[in-house]
Amino acid sequence: MSYGPQPWQQTAWDWRAAGNFIGGGAGSGLIMFTALAGADGAAAAALLLAGLALIGLGLACVWAELGRPLRALHVFFNPRTSWMTREAIAATVLFPAGAAAALLAYTGVSGIAWLPAVLAFAFIYCQSRMVQAARGIPAWREPCVVALLLATSLAEGAGLFWLAQPWHRQGSTPLALVFGALLLVRIVVWYAYRARLDGHAAPRALAALDRAGRVLLLGGTVVPLALLAVALVGGSAAAAAWAGLAAAPAGAFVKFTLITRAGFNQGFALQRLPVRGQAPRATP
């Protein structure tokens, strides 16, 4: 079904649009967690560049989705009302700032990752509001979706940071506890978001979200927390890395499901239907 009174699935955003949210969220989260960790030297430079690469990969996905890619510059024309325009502006500032911060970190300057971290937060916030601005899709317009996308992006970025920890050696016990807290915040926000959708979204959308929720709970929360506990008790860097490996894909799967499988329109809502032979009644 394409149009009618029953909900139908949108087709404007596909896996390429989902790739933008997955790459942009994970990359932004990695940049923010790198700043929070106080990483320095070559490790900080590599982590910042990796975050920028993920954001760039996400933007490349959405660029490939355009019917006329050479007209992509038109996205900058409406900053007053378009969150997509604001996302593009944030990315335009973020890339040179992040590259400069990576270069300075590599040369030994410390404490300069906060500027790209702030810009990365602005970028992912614009992305989140862009989803919520789709008023015709109940699973997207729910206000909690902003908090959900922010929380899962931070958790994914932290997961990628810990996945690379055996190489960069910048981890610590407080950072592991922060990672665990982000995982808990993410699952709490998820359940709050899911509860608010009851009775408002299409059954097929809710079924898809429930499948993603089970993956997020088990693979993205329970397993990483158990591995983090092993890492904290036994001092195992490998366990912390496995925790990061489990946490990041689970968040990506949630975003993929949200965009490609839960994007059901609400359908037409007609309070009065025309009846042959009867004049339309005036609306009170």
Q: Tell me the CA distances in angstroms from 113 to 26, 88, 156, 174, one per residue in order.
A: 16, 21, 18, 19
Six-digit token pair at 271? 């309070």
Q: In whole angstroms, what separates CA 189 from the centre of its chain?
A: 13
Q: Is residue 33 scored above 50 in pLDDT? A: yes
Q: Which of the pair, 68 or 146, is modelled with greater confidence?
A: 146
Q: Which of the pair, 69 or 218, is modelled with greater confidence?
A: 218
Question: Is residue 260 very low, low, confident or very high in pLDDT (cuts 50, 70, 90)?
Answer: very high
Q: Which of the pair, 276 or 103, is modelled with greater confidence?
A: 103
Burial pattern 113-142, b for ≥16 Cβ within 10 A else e, equals beebbebbbbbbbbbbbbbbebeebbbbbb
pLDDT of the residue at 1: 45
Q: In whole angstroms, what separates CA 33 from the centre of its chain?
A: 15
Q: Which of the pair, 275 or 207, is modelled with greater confidence?
A: 207
**Average pLDDT taken over every residue of the chain:** 89
Distance CA(231)–CA(236), nearest Å, equals 4
Alpha-helix runs per DSSP H in 164-222: 165-168, 173-197, 203-217
Q: Tell me the CA distances in angstroms from 97 to 26, 32, 115, one per residue in order.
A: 18, 13, 7
Q: Give per-residue pLDDT as tens, 158-187.
A: 999 999 998 988 888 999 999 999 999 999
For residue 263, how many C-alpha atoms fall within 13 Å in the half-sphere facing its CB?
A: 20
Q: Report the range of poorest mean pLDDT among 25-39, 70-84, 131-145, 187-201.
A: 70-84
Please choose, from the candidates 7, 60, 58, the residue with its C-alpha nearest in 3D space to the C-alpha of residue 30.
58
Q: Give per-residue pLDDT as tens, 92-150.
A: 999 999 999 999 999 988 888 899 999 999 999 999 999 999 888 999 999 999 999 99
pLDDT of the residue at 110: 82
Distance CA(33)–CA(154), nearest Å, equals 7
Domains of the chain, start order: 15-260 (1.20.1630.10)
Give 249's contacts (C-beta < 8 A, 6+ positions apart). Answer: 219, 220
Q: 124 with 153: CB under 8 angstroms? A: yes
Q: Report the range of poorest mean pLDDT among 139-153, 210-224, 261-275.
A: 261-275
Q: What is the CB neighbour count within 10 angstroms for residue 218? A: 12
pLDDT of the residue at 252: 95
pLDDT of the residue at 236: 83
Q: 132 with 219: CB under 8 angstroms? A: no
